[in-house]
Structure 1
């Protein structure tokens, strides 16, 4: 099941209030009752709506972004295409290899 971020847009006329979903009845747009448990599951799914890749370190945190300019962008894009990876993955691999071989204390 794919999650469409447009399903979670709150309009300017929306009323937001705090209710106990286990004691008060609230129907979701699909017509089913929303419980605290279901709301938690939806919130976990909604956390995946954050754009970009998730943790590259495997700890669940969003990985920091590093941007740079290069006159060799087309070459990088072509090589990434040939390798079947994204250009960002190629850049990560290149930086990792460089740091592994040249970082102080390595």
Structure 2
């Protein structure tokens, strides 16, 4: 049976390379620094705020965000806080 990762076969050379890397050791502090989830937007944690919009309102926000080449969140932040955009 062939080992697979993401639908691709794993070769013996890859396994040997990964084993050599593991035997050489990892920088544990570097691995610990890598956080989970989305990257932060500032020095302090951000808070998610729920806003209710109708489907038409949400479509309008999405159209405006696309026209501004921004994500929905970035567009809304820019409208609410233009000085920080």
Q: 1:75 aligns with which of 44, 53, 60?
A: 60
Give the structure-2-normalised TM-score.
0.59
Q: Which has the higher helix share?
A: 2
Q: Which has the higher strand share?
A: 2
Other structure's SS at 2:23 match = coil
Structure 1's unaligned 5+ residue stretches are 1-27, 101-106
Q: Distance in 2 between matches of 1:69 and 1:62?
A: 23
Where does residue 54 of structure 1 map in the other structure?
40
Give the structure-1-normalised TM-score.
0.49
Other structure's SS at 1:32 match = helix
Q: Which has the higher contact order (CA 8 A, sep 6+)?
A: 1
Structure 2's unaligned 5+ residue stretches are 1-17
Alignment of 1:1-106 (within 5 A): 30-34=21-25, 38-45=27-34, 47=35, 50-55=36-41, 57=42, 59=43, 61-71=44-54, 72-97=57-82
| Number of corresponding residues | 63
